């Protein structure tokens, strides 16, 4: 290929690449004009061109009737361009309070479009833009044929939620080209409201992580049999056959030798009213999928512990101790991975002085938990490494769920026996 051909081809590419930019700039200009003033519809553009034609013809021929036609046409164009903006100024949108829902459920949006003016409004296009990540639906539209003076129109629609969080609706767009249909104007009516989507709460049938709270068998509590006489809980209720997963420290060796099979002490533990905190680690380092699982686990463990008659609370570094059900769900809905570089030591120092269920991604943190605590660690298979610790817990492998909101694998893992 010659140099001239190469230069021609490069110039052609430049011309092709410059055309979309011009088009986008034109679109951007008309969009700006629609929001600020009014942009001509197709028929408005044709009518404008026809009016200019009549005016130029009148100038050339000095014909009076052509001046009249062009003058009337210019008057209609001015009215068609000014009126849409004035009509929209009399519109008000009120968004009703949005009831909280859990992720995966339908959220209902209730809007009231009010006509505060003394003239009827026709052919209104109302568009409600949903917050990002709230739903797979990006926006909803409705066309209102007529709203009488000082009357209102109620619009209700639903959208399926896809992600937990606290979402803010800011405004609703209203556009119209009435009364003449020549020019179109658009206005954003403030209609702010907060929508809260709670995380999924898994229905746990059992959870050894919570069920065995208070059964720690540290040397201080269970090393000698004479300590049982002074204990108010953890007393041996009965001996039963060994089941897979039972800790070997509870095996009663003398009775096992007598019967020829392993027998385990079943301890009578009073857990009703025991205080415990579900502590969610929000420090830097989480994988997004793992953090979503941790939030779901925190909500599930909180309500399971509550069902087990424990005095349970939620703790995060940003909020501290939270206790009521609604406050817990709202806190978990708004929970995000922290952007500030805070060391694990600083976070652990702020933990409440009571047993916690620690949900984290950081291995070494579990060695510094309060006595009687439990832990749940999110680890990739290559990183499963548990240091020496004084408490029991679970290690959960990070799994990408994509659009699966049932968390079946997480539920089964939370119902597993603890890692000794």
Same domain, 181 and 289: no
Residue 381 has pLDDT above 60, yes or no: no
On whether the CB atoms of residues 121 and 178 are closer than 8 A, the answer is yes
pLDDT at 348: 79
Same domain, 82 and 143: yes
Comparing CA positions, the residue from 130, 118, 122, 131 lying closest to residue 175 is: 122
pLDDT at 97: 94
DSSP state of 156: E
DSSP state of 405: -
Same domain, 189 and 231: no
pLDDT tier at 31 (50, 70, 90 boundaries)? confident
pLDDT tens per residue across span 135-171: 888 899 999 999 999 999 999 999 999 999 999 999 9
pLDDT at 346: 77
pLDDT at 222: 35
pLDDT tens per residue across span 40-54: 899 888 998 999 998
pLDDT tier at 201 (50, 70, 90 boundaries)? very high
Same domain, 36 and 182: yes
Residue 236 has pLDDT above 80, yes or no: no
pLDDT at 232: 35
Give mean pLDDT, residues 332-351.
83
Same domain, 59 and 185: yes
- H/E stretch holding 299 reads helix 288-307
pLDDT at 242: 79
Structural tokens at position 316: 């995060």
Q: Is residue 350 part of a domain?
A: yes
| Residue at a domain's end among 268, 284, 302 | 268
On whether the CB atoms of residues 209 and 372 are closer than 8 A, the answer is no
Count CB-CB contacts under 10 A for residue 153: 18
Q: Is residue 286 part of a domain?
A: yes
pLDDT tier at 388 (50, 70, 90 boundaries)? very low
pLDDT higher at 222 or 12 = 12
Same domain, 261 and 309: no
pLDDT tens per residue across span 240-295: 787 766 777 788 888 888 888 888 776 544 444 578 899 999 888 888 888 999 99
Cis peptide leading into residue 227 (ω within 30°): no
Q: Is residue 2 part of a domain?
A: no
pLDDT tens per residue across span 95-137: 999 999 999 899 999 999 999 999 999 999 999 999 998 988 8
DSSP bridge partners of 250: none
> Using CA atoms, how far apart are residues 327 and 173, in angstroms rounded to an integer?
33
Same domain, 44 and 181: yes
DSSP bridge partners of 125: 143, 175
pLDDT at 3: 45
> Using CA atoms, how far apart are residues 257 and 245, in angstroms rounded to an integer?
20
Q: Is residue 37 part of a domain?
A: yes
pLDDT at 7: 47
Residue 45 belongs to domain with CATH number:
2.60.40.10
pLDDT at 102: 92
pLDDT at 224: 37
Q: Is residue 209 part of a domain?
A: no
Q: How far is CA 219 from CA 224, 230, 249, in A?
A: 8, 15, 11
Same domain, 263 and 282: no
pLDDT tier at 417 (50, 70, 90 boundaries)? low
pTM (2 d.p.): 0.72
195-199, 336-340, 341-345: least confident range: 341-345
Same domain, 26 and 109: yes
Same domain, 75 and 157: yes
State the average pLDDT for the chain: 81
Residue 86's domain comprises 13-198
pLDDT tier at 386 (50, 70, 90 boundaries)? low
Q: Is residue 283 part of a domain?
A: yes
pLDDT tier at 398 (50, 70, 90 boundaries)? low
pLDDT at 245: 62
Number of domains in the chain: 3
pLDDT at 364: 77
> Using CA atoms, how far apart are residues 299 and 245, in angstroms rounded to an integer?
26
Alpha helices in 37-164 (DSSP H): 42-61, 64-88
pLDDT at 223: 35
Same domain, 85 and 118: yes
Give mean pLDDT, residues 389-411.
68
pLDDT at 279: 92
Residue 181 backbone class (left: φ over 0; alpha: ψ -120 to 50; beta: rest) = left
Q: Is residue 205 part of a domain?
A: no
pLDDT tier at 215 (50, 70, 90 boundaries)? low
pLDDT higher at 417 or 279 = 279
Residue 313 belongs to domain with CATH number:
3.40.50
Same domain, 313 and 341: yes
Structural tokens at position 134: 């709230």
pLDDT at 147: 93
Q: Is residue 346 part of a domain?
A: yes
Q: How far is CA 383 from CA 289, 357, 391, 414, in A?
A: 16, 21, 20, 19
| Residue at a domain's end among 252, 268, 284 | 268
């Amino acid at each position: 290929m010659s140099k001239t051909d190469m230069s021609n081809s490069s110039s052609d590419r430049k011309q092709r690449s410059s055309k979309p930019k011009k088009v986008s700039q034109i679109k951007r200009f008309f969009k700006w004009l629609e929001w600020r003033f009014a942009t001509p519809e197709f028929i408005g553009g044709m009518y404008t061109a026809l009016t200019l034609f009549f005016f130029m013809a009148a100038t050339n021929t000095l014909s009076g009737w052509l001046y009249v036609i062009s003058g009337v046409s210019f008057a209609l164009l001015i009215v068609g361009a000014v009126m849409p903006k004035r009509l929209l100024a009399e519109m008000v949108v009120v968004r009703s309070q949005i009831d909280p829902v859990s992720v995966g459920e339908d959220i209902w949006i209730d809007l009231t479009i009010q006509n505060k003016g003394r003239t009827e409004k026709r052919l209104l296009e109302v568009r409600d833009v949903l917050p990002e990540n709230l739903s797979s639906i990006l926006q909803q539209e409705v066309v209102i044929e007529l709203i009488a003076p000082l009357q209102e129109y109620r619009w209700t629609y639903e959208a399926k939620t896809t992600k937990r969080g606290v979402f803010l609706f800011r405004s609703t767009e209203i556009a119209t080209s009435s009364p003449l249909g020549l020019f179109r104007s658009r206005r954003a009516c403030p209609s702010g409201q907060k929508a809260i989507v709670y995380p999924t709460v898994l229905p746990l049938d059992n959870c050894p992580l919570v069920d065995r709270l208070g059964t720690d068998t540290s040397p201080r509590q269970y090393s000698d049999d004479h300590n049982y006489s002074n204990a108010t809980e953890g007393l041996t209720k009965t001996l039963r056959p060994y089941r897979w997963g039972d800790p070997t420290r509870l095996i009663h060796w003398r009775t096992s030798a007598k019967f020829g099979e392993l027998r385990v002490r079943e301890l009578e533990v009073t857990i009703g009213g025991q205080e415990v905190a579900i502590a969610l680690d929000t420090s830097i380092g989480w994988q997004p999928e793992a953090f979503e699982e941790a939030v779901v686990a925190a909500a599930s463990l909180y309500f399971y512990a509550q069902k087990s008659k424990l005095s349970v609370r939620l703790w995060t570094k940003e909020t501290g101790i939270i206790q009521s059900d609604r406050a817990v769900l709202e806190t978990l809905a708004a929970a995000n991975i922290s952007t500030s570089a805070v060391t694990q030591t600083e976070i652990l120092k702020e933990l409440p002085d009571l047993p916690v269920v620690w949900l984290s991604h950081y291995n070494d943190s579990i060695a510094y938990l309060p006595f009687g605590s439990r832990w749940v660690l999110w680890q990739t298979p290559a990183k499963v490494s548990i240091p020496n610790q004084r408490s029991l817990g679970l290690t959960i492998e990070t799994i990408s769920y994509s659009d699966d909101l049932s968390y079946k694998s997480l539920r089964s893992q939370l119902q597993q026996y603890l890692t000794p």
